[in-house]
Amino acid sequence: MNLNLYNLFMLSDKLRNDFPQLKVKHNGHSLIYLDSAATTLKPQKVIDAITEYYEKFSCSTGRGNYFLSSQLESKINESMKSIAKFLNCEEEEVVFSYNTTYLINIISKILASNVKENDEIILSHAEHSSNLLPWYMIAKQKNLKIKFCPFNKDLTIGVSEIKSVISPKTKIVSLAHMTNVLGNTIDVHGIGNFLKEKNIYFVVDGAQSISYHPVDVKKIQCDFYVFSAHKMCGPTGLGIMYGRKKILEKSEAVIAGGHMLKSLTTDGSHDFVSLSSKRKWQPGTSNYAAIFAMKETISYLQEVGVDNIKKHCIELKQYLVSELKKLPNIEMYNEKLESSILTFNIKNCSAEDVSFDLSSKGICIRHGDHCSKILKNIIKVQASLRISFYLYNRKEEIDYLVKQIKKGKDFLNHLFE
């Protein structure tokens, strides 16, 4: 239906009806879900697709010639084509696995064979643990150096910031397209093209960005782009990786098992030959139900329009900021950034207590360090509250949230009611 922004607002109730979880009530309060940066709610058509797999196509692919296996293989290929088109890449460059975390671990192991002692990896202070710990592990194993790219004054990263930190020893740059605490984005196109000229591997963590920003991996010129289905209205348990074809073809497998083996020796050499690059990176039985449902997931996002979702969420955040500024006790850390995320605290109140109190009113927001362990050194707080919007949120929910914050003189009252 390719909605424009005006229609997205007008049809918000219709869109909300697509998400059955919004009918849930807690303590008599309607659900207000403001934690989409952690995971998005699922539309009925995606839920129906998962059910359809288990009801009609529950089998395995790759080795079965019977009709069910062939039908499932066809459905899986349809999803693969949808994702490849969504990313503007070849089908052979799409790899399925468990989640973003697992795939960044795989990527780090792939690229580990291309680095040597004292080579450098560039990260940022705002990275999620999923894009920190895998590189820490590789750096420790191979005695590499990790450097952190600075932010500019707008809390973003562009080519000039990358130039300020790279050296002839820099081999890998791995950054989040959009961070999960501040919602700031990086100049992926400028950085990608610059790093391509320097022959530096560019890995993009797209877990937060995939459902807010159109992604064209060919224009970005990245070597890997990785994200999770559950953050884009899709099912849990499915990570998706774009990997540059040349790298996937030449690299040795880093995990091994069924569905990937072409031949092996028994003469004591322990050699084996993998199948095509797609099979090489997807050993074992895949999450067929989730892959099956990805065609409907992509279709839903395309019908609404990723650009429309982004505009809608930015407008909601701007409205929330304007309402919170009317209160005397709010400290916001990223109010000027155009994003779907607002991170803040209520002065002299524990983030955990505030989140728990709002939960008793049916409001779901995140508290803590949000798996971004280094960022606290930048924003100078140990824990914060995070609100993250998506297409099913509306201004009336913000009004209710602000009303509850105003009422919450003591955020422990709910324990004694």
Residue with tokens 């207000």, as numbered in its chain: 32
Quote the tokens at residue 243: 């990997």
Q: Which long-range contacts (CB under 8 A, 24 or more apart) does 63-71 make?
A: 63/259
Chain-centre distance for alpha carbon 62: 29
**Phi and psi at residue 145, to the nearest 5°:** -110, 130
Residue 385: closest CA among 151, 130, 37: 37
Stated as kind and residue range, the H or E segment containing 368 is strand 366-368
Bridge partners (DSSP) of residue 133 are none
What does 140-161 look like in DSSP terms, one character per residue?
Answer: HHHT-EEEEEPP-TTS-B-HHH
Give the number of C-alpha atoms closer than 13 A to the C-alpha of residue 232, restricted to the C-beta side.
35
- Tell me if 107 sits within 8 A of 100, measured CB to CB: no
d(CA 262, CA 150): 46
Which residues make Cβ contacts (< 8 Å) with residue 28, sequence separation at least 6? Answer: none
For helices 288-304 and 67-87, give the axis angle rounded to 10 degrees.
40
371 is catalytic: yes
- Tell me if 201 sits within 8 A of 222, measured CB to CB: no
Catalytic option among 59, 222, 364, 371: 371
What is the set of active-site residues? 371
